[in-house]
Structure 1
Amino acid sequence: MDTVDDTPASLSRHPLFEPIAPWLARFTAPGVPSHAALDALLAGTAAGARSGGGAPIRFVPPGDDPAGYEAQIFSSGEVPTRDGDWHDFFNALAWCAWPHTKSACNRLHLAELRVREGAGLPGRGPRRDALTQFDECGIVVVSADAEIPALLAAHEWEEAFWNRRAHLQRTTRFLVLGHGSWDQLRAPFVGLCAKAIYRVVEPAWLALPMAAALAETDAWLADHLAAALDTLSPRSLSPLPLLGIPGVTPDNEVVGYYRDTRQFRPRRNALGAAASGTSRA
């Protein structure tokens, strides 16, 4: 995918669009579907989608709600969605694919906002920043082998993506949630990263159909974010170079691809060790 594609259906064949592929495939005309089409899609795929405050979700043109984006969604269920905008289109599809997680993020935003206001703290704070980053460019890496997430979290890119390539493909799934990442994947660029949360599962999980695997992961992720809120910050989310995932681009079919430090950077502590002349264990 070297150029921007203007037809949603054509994106359905790309592996990182898998969570929303069945719905992308429905839209065969160029451009972004209308608000009415998105509301109908949500009603047919996640009719129970609710805001963090329990209001039914629907997609509306942006207005001037003084309460702010998350507060508007929380209280009314209205998700501001710009007409003809791909970024907002993918956000609507994220509500279809990840309704429990999107609701949890909205609820956690409002809870944290109220905590900070009550404490007289300025700004958004690291928890809300992390929630926004994950909402925009989050990915859940689900693996039946605990070593794969450990290697990726340690930035051992060549070992995970190349040396263990076949094993990674058998044991690991990459489920994008971030609507910003989907938008960027229409015209990917060197260095394109997501923010990853890693999960280890039993091998039987891998046999689930995609719809079942997605629904199960959605429920798990909503609970995980709520439980992890106290320690959530942008630094707690692990960067993952999306173009390193096997099958995402033909460029990564050679080992040398993973030695380009523009996108496959070592961890900061490894960089510090190299600079000081020490070696890594």
Structure 2
Amino acid sequence: MESARAPQVRPRRAGAASRRGNDPLEASLRQPVFDPLRPWHVRLQAAGGATLGHLNALADAAQLRTESGRPVRFVAPGAAHAHYEARVFESGCVETRPESLHDLFNALAWLAFPRTKARMNAMHAARIPHEHGRRGRLRDLLTLFDEGGAIVACADSELLDMLRGFRWKELFWEHRRRVLRSMRISVLGHAVLEKALDPWPGITCKAIFVTPDADLDAQAAAWLAQRSTQATPRELAPVPIFGYPGWFPGNDRPEFYDDTRYFRPFRRDSARAYGNAG
């Protein structure tokens, strides 16, 4: 019998969700890609919605701090600062427009992953004085993880080998039940989360690997702390997150994973490049 054709899905522009407004946000956040942030959004809605005051009340209750010891405060944008991350580290002030989905997801990521966000900020601040007009490779890694990062929690080495080897159909289709049982993906990148409001199969995160039996936030912060100043973005592993079982309509059919535009094959240098993700 002839296989059903894979759905033709047109890539969406990242800014589409912002222009669309917040009306569908609550329904969209029921999707599993938003699991880590959903409890904080529920609390925010219970407090009266996305305002700086309500975000700061949650930050106070969670005792959010930068690694410099400053309380994290979500503030309205002000005068331009030469180095955004340095200002956050020195003052604790995170410029936030609550009506912007991009900024809102960044604030929710601070609440959901406080150690990881604080570690990234501290590492940015430490490197800025040593750079002269051009961001270095370590800060490129930090920026990619901040905007598009995910944490893959899995103790099954065979599944991780499939992921590292870009064996997407084998991983997400042939070992579907095993993935659901043994692999968890937690997305923290706020730009990817904004894109996920208008999803398409090609959305890809830059991931690290941790164990499932310990705090994900603490493990991610520790992974970052172990990076040397020579670390590069190639230490992050690409993961097409909507291949994960149940995360996208149609991925319950094997032909979904045959589209190599989204589920790209292994390249010769990939094993070396992504060997440090976990």
Give the SS at the match of 1:152: helix
Counterpart code for 1:75: E
Residues 100 and 27 of structure 1: is their aligned pair in 2 closer, same or farther, counting only changes over 3 Å? closer
Query: What residue is the counterpart of 1:256 in the other structure?
Result: 255
Report the Cα distance in structure 2 between the residues aligned to 1:200 and 1:113, rounded to whole angstroms: 31
Query: What residue is the counterpart of 1:148 in the other structure?
Result: 159
Report the Cα distance in structure 1 between the residues aligned to 2:208 and 2:248, rounded to whole angstroms: 22
- Report how far residue 83 of structure 1 moved: 3.9
For 1:61-140, what aligned pairs fall within 5 Å after superposition?
Answer: 61-116=76-131, 121-140=132-151
- Provide Cα deviations, 1:61-108, integer angstroms capped at 9, x if missing partner: 111243421011010000011241000000000010111111100010
State the structure with bigger RCO (CA 8 A, min sep 6), 1 or 2. 2
Give TM-score, length-normalised by structure 2. 0.83
Report the Cα distance in structure 2 between the residues aligned to 1:251 and 1:32, rounded to whole angstroms: 33
- Provide Cα deviations, 1:258-277, integer angstroms capped at 9, x if missing partner: 01011000122289xxxxxx
Counterpart code for 1:85: S
Query: What residue is the counterpart of 2:237 in the other structure?
Result: 238
- Report how far residue 11 of structure 1 moved: 3.1
For 1:44-55, what aligned pairs fall within 5 Å after superposition?
Answer: 44=61, 46-47=62-63, 49-55=64-70
Report the Cα distance in structure 2 between the residues aligned to 1:270 and 1:197, rounded to whole angstroms: 18
Query: What residue is the counterpart of 1:6 in the other structure?
Result: 23
Unaligned runs of 5+ in 1: 206-212, 272-281
Q: 124-133 or 7-16: which moved more?
A: 7-16
Pick the structure with more helix per residue: 1
Query: What residue is the counterpart of 1:278 in the other structure?
Result: none
Unaligned runs of 5+ in 2: 1-11, 271-278
Give the SS at the match of 2:36: helix
Give TM-score, length-normalised by structure 1. 0.83
- Report how far residue 54 of structure 1 moved: 1.8
Identity %: 41
How many equivalent pairs are there? 251
For 1:202-213, what aligned pairs fall within 5 Å after superposition?
Answer: 205=213
Show structure 1 runs of 4+ deviating over 3 A: 2-5, 26-29
Report the Cα distance in structure 2 between the residues aligned to 1:150 and 1:77, rounded to whole angstroms: 40
- Provide Cα deviations, 1:157-192, integer angstroms capped at 9, x if missing partner: 011101100001001111111111111110012411
Report the Cα distance in structure 1 between the residues aligned to 2:251 and 2:23, rounded to whole angstroms: 25
- Provide Cα deviations, 1:223-253, integer angstroms capped at 9, x if missing partner: 1101123452122211111110111112101
Give the SS at the match of 2:137: helix
Residues 64 and 125 of structure 1: is their aligned pair in 2 closer, same or farther, counting only changes over 3 Å? same
For the 8 Å contact 1:14–1:248, the answer to whether it is kept is: yes
- Report how far residue 27 of structure 1 moved: 5.1
- Report how far residue 143 of structure 1 moved: 0.6
- Provide Cα deviations, 1:96-128, integer angstroms capped at 9, x if missing partner: 011111110001001112233xxxx54001110
Query: What residue is the counterpart of 1:180 in the other structure?
Result: 191
Query: What residue is the counterpart of 1:159 in the other structure?
Result: 170
Q: Superposition RMSD on alpha carbons, in Å?
A: 2.3
For the 8 Å contact 1:190–1:262, the answer to whether it is kept is: no
Residues 144 and 177 of structure 1: is their aligned pair in 2 closer, same or farther, counting only changes over 3 Å? same
